[in-house]
A = this chain, B = another copy of it.
Amino acid sequence: MHASASAVNPGALRSRLAQAGLRATRQRLVILESLLTLPGHPTAEQVHRHVVGHSPSISLGTVYKALDSFVAAGLTRRVASAEGASRRYDADCTEHHHLFCTDTQEIIDYCDPQLDELIRQFFAARELEGFQPRSFSLHVVGTRGMK
């Protein structure tokens, strides 16, 4: 009973979908599991490639539709990216930030409660005229490698 196993066991996936008001179809279970399993921020294409290992009959269109429904239900979010043509998805909906490496085109998750707090306090103090902030996401562009 590892924590890592529990996130992707069938029961947990089912209840996630149920909570979101989505039918727990075989396809969605496999797609959601792939999204949680795959490292980084996969494209629909990458999810599909992974998914056809389990269930070869799942079509790319179904992957797109499933991902859309996950996003609409708040299970998943789309990751903003300026570089690269295709959209990327992120199963992790907790607040976190992204490091984008211009050398490798990699997007690395960056989680830092202190940073969150810093930003939240900044905006609480600042009182933007006519804008009510709800969530923050910092995009850091840079390169991997020693300082």
Chain A residues at the B interface, C-beta cutoff of 8 Å? 77-83, 87, 99, 101-102, 108, 110, 112, 115, 118-119, 122-123, 126-128, 130-147
Contact = CB atoms under 8 A, between A and B. Distances in A.
Contacts of A87: 82
A143 B147 CA distance: 38
Given A77-B82, A78-B82, A145 B132 contact: yes
A114 to B, nearest CB: 8
A142 B138 contact: no
A139 B82 contact: no
Contact of A141 (B133, B140, B146): B133
A138 B141 contact: no
Contact of A131 (B108, B112, B122): B108
Contacts of A78: 82-83
Given A127-B147, A132-B143, A132-B145, 20 more contacts: A77-B82, A78-B83, A80-B82, A99-B131, A99-B133, A102-B134, A110-B128, A112-B126, A119-B138, A131-B142, A132-B142, A132-B144, A133-B140, A134-B141, A134-B142, A134-B143, A135-B140, A136-B138, A136-B141, A137-B138
